[in-house]
Structures are given as C-alpha cells and as structure tokens.
Chain A
Amino acid sequence: MIERDEHLKQAFAALRREDAAGSPSFQATVAAARARRAGVPRRRALGLAAGVVVAVIAVVVASTWRTQKSERLEIDLATVRWQGPTDFLLKLPGIELLRSVPQLGLRGLDRRIL
C-alpha cells in the first residue's frame, strides 16, 4: 500500500514539475489581472445600459397591455344577455299556468275567514 502511495506521489511530483515549467510568471499574471480590472467599469457600463434598455422595453410593453385591457372593459356588460344552448329545455308546455296564481272568489273567502 505504501509502495502504491509512493507511486502516486511520484506521479503527482512529475505533474507538478510539468505544471511549474509551463506556468506564467507572477509578474505577468498580476499585470494581466490589473489590465482586467481596468476593463471592468466598461463592462459594467455596458451591462447597466443593457439593463436600462430591458427595463424600458418592459415598461412600454406593460403600459401597452394595460391600455388594451382598459379598452376592453368599456363594453357595457349589463346590456349583454347570454343565452345558453339548452335554455329551450326550461320552456315547459303550460308553464304560464304554473307561474300565475288562480283567481278564487275573494269576497266569499273573506267572509268565511272573518
């Protein structure tokens, strides 16, 4: 097991040597980092501009949608009467008789009660 760990250590040491040989210098890395920092404000400004454009588009779309919605509400719903396709089933023959009160002799009825 220890021998196998030694083998791993040697392999990693070889990798480390290879990486070190190909690594950029410290000065070059720091210089590139500073150059990168100099480019950040421009990128932020671009990002901010893009954000503003998106916000303006969103406001325009929202206001247009609202206007269209309010125009649709101008329809007077009280005047609209919807008729269902099965309404005719509610019309029974002789329904007028069921909805009206029969006329009885009211005078005679009053005397009997009184």
Chain B
Amino acid sequence: MSPADLPAELEQLHAAAFGWALSCCGWDRSAAEDVLQASYLKLLDGRARFEGRSSLRTFVFGVIARTAREVRRRAALRRWIPLASLLLGPEAVDGRPDPATAAVGADETARLVRALGRLSARQRQVLHLVFYEDLTIAEAAVIAGVSLGTARTHYERGKAALKRLLEEESE
C-alpha cells in the first residue's frame, strides 16, 4: 500500500476507528475525537508507519490504543505538574464514561455503556474488539499489546462480568 492510498483506506476504517477510540476513552466523545485526530496525524505524517506485518485495521487500532494511553499519561502528568499543560496542550481523556453520552441514546445501549465503564480497561478493550469490531481474540491481543492467553482470560472474565452487570442493571 502506497502512502497516497492511506487517506482512502483510513476513510473506510473511520467509523470503526471512532468506535474504538470511544472505547479507549471510556465513551468520552470529545476525548475520543482528540485521540482519533492525534492518531490520524501520526499516520498521515508517517510517524506511525504501516509495514504490512498485520492487517491495516489491526495496525490503525494499535496506534489509536497507544495514543489513548499517551493522552492518559499526559493527563496524569498534568495533574502533578501544572506547568506541563503549556507543553502538553489541553486535557482530553479522563478514562471514565461521559455521563451525558451514557444517558443519551437507547436504554439498552446506555446500560451497555454504563456496564462497560465498570469493567477493567483491558476487559473492556478485548470485549469491544471482539463484539463491536468483530475481530478474533488473537487480533484483539495484538492490538491490546498482551499475549493471546492473557487476552483469552480478559475475554472470558470480562464477558462473565458484563453479563452479570447487565443483569444487575436490568433488575
């Protein structure tokens, strides 16, 4: 794939990438937009270069996950060093579901978002990649940066916890 083809390829992945950014940012919409913009910049500037070792989708999702982690780290640093905000830019991710986002929309999806917000970040990521993005657990492991066994554990435990939380929510 040539660099000239990248924008068109990214456009095809855009909806899925936005969903993934939302999950990485705990359904905080503005944070997800910031993370997605920063990720696209990395990809279009060539700071994150696709070398064909995985599918483009897996690669792009990995870049988004890393960018979300960086933004979270920067937010944590900003809390400790107030002057760092000049160098690091405006704060974006708080890592928790945006209550307004959770409240808006269909009741069932709102319940799902609330329940996902109560899972650990890794469990939420793996479940999102498998159920929302229709990826395999192996692909989810690559994107989340964990081993296949760890991803399987997160998947099973996360699924059980999510079902329990959804049942609690519906009671």
Contact = CB atoms under 8 A, between A and B. Distances in A.
Contacts, number: 81
A107 interface: no
B40 to A, nearest CB: 5
Contacts of B33: 24, 29, 32
B85 to A, nearest CB: 9
Contact of A50 (B15, B83, B89, B113): B83
B36 A50 contact: no
Contact of A8 (B29, B38, B87, B131): B131
Interface size of A as a range:
20 to 34
A29 B112 contact: no
Contacts of A40: 89
Interface in B1-37: 7, 10-11, 14-15, 18-19, 22, 29, 33, 36-37
Given A9-B131, A11-B112, A24-B33, A33 B41 contact: yes
B41 A36 contact: yes
Interface in A66-81: none
Nearest to A39: B89
B41 A19 contact: no
A43 B90 CA distance: 10
B108 A19 contact: no
A44 B87 contact: yes
Interface in A1-54: 4-5, 8-9, 11-12, 14-16, 18-20, 22-26, 29-30, 32-34, 36-37, 40, 43-44, 46-47, 50, 54
Interface of B: 7, 10-11, 14-15, 18-19, 22, 29, 33, 36-38, 40-41, 44-45, 83, 86-87, 89, 105-106, 108-109, 112-113, 128, 131-132, 159, 162-163, 166
